[in-house]
Amino acid sequence: MLDVRQTVNMRPEIVIAIMSAAVSLVSGVVTAVAAYRTTVVAHRLQEKTHERTKSELAEELFRRYREPLLWSAQALQSRLYNGISQGFLARYLRCGNAEDERYVVDNTVYVLAEYLGWLELLRRDQRFLDVTAIRSTRDLFAIVGQTQHALATDGLDGPFRLFRGQQRAIGELMLKGTESTSGPTHEVLGYAAFCARLDENPSFRAWFDRLRSEVPAIESAGHEGNRRLIRLQDTLVELVHLLDPNDLRLPQKQKSQLRADNPERIPQALRAPRTRLNKW
């Protein structure tokens, strides 16, 4: 190490060179620290942007499917409510009018199949998204899962049991290709196209033969024999409330639950309180 006397005796150009080297070293350290801080800040901004993008994508998924899910869930829950508690099926299944008798069977199966078709489209669109990014999609998929469980479980009595794979297969059968401004896409079959395929396509009809044959059992089984469909209807109403929390699209009187309307006739297992999902 140089002492003061050596430094004093140094030639000016050497002193200047040493000082320049020191300044360069300090400058390099400062630059490195600044670059590190810039990298950290940029990474944090990128993470926030990524999180915002995930939330935006999840919110867009909800907005896209809100209306079709609402109306298909409402159509199914309404048919179950009227069929089990309001005598709709009893009135038309054996009314003597062949057209009405077929309608009440095929349309009852259709509203179930239509709902499963929209679930299949929803499943396809959410495959690569983080559906937990926002509360709305978390709640949506939680309650949709409850409706799927009601159909699939063997712990509840009643018609229309469909395992998860069968639910998906029916959902796939209910889709048709179409063109949009963004390119090829899919939509769910309408009732007329559904009936036409039942008449014209034996392999398509085979997937629905059992369900069609079980429609009369809904009417004859009463509340005790329809535990599955009572649970399904009850959960579908919760889905409708979730999608229309302020009754802007459907009045409250059209969202009646079988469990709530007939507590003395519903088995205790179906009357047990369940955790309500958040509404938004």
Look at phi and psi of residue 158 and say left if phi exceeds 0, alpha if psi is from -120 to 50, else beta.
left
Contacts of 64 (CB under 8 A, 6+ apart): 125
Hey, what are 229's tokens? Answer: 């469909």
SS3 3: coil
Going from the C-alpha of 274 to that of each of 47, 229, 277, the distances in angstroms are 37, 17, 9
Instruction: Give the pLDDT of residue 274.
Output: 43
C-beta separation of 182 from 244 below 8 A: no
Query: What pLDDT digit, counting tens, does each position of 11-69 carry?
Result: 676 766 666 666 666 666 656 655 566 554 445 545 544 455 777 877 888 888 999 99
Highest mean pLDDT out of 33-42, 126-135, 159-168: 159-168
Instruction: Give the pLDDT of residue 162.
Output: 98
Query: What pLDDT digit, counting tens, does each position of 255-275 carry?
Result: 999 885 554 444 444 333 443
- SS3 of 130-174: CCCCCHHHHHHHHHHHHHHHHHHCCCCCCCCCCCHHHHHHHHHHC
The total number of residues written for the chain in this structure: 280
What is the reported pTM? 0.74
SS3 179: strand
Cβ count near 163 (within 10 Å): 13
Percent of the chain residues past pLDDT 70, beyond the cut: 70
57/65 Cα distance (integer angstroms): 13
145/133 Cα distance (integer angstroms): 17
Percent of the chain residues past pLDDT 90, beyond the cut: 53
Round the average pLDDT of the chain to a whole number and report it: 82
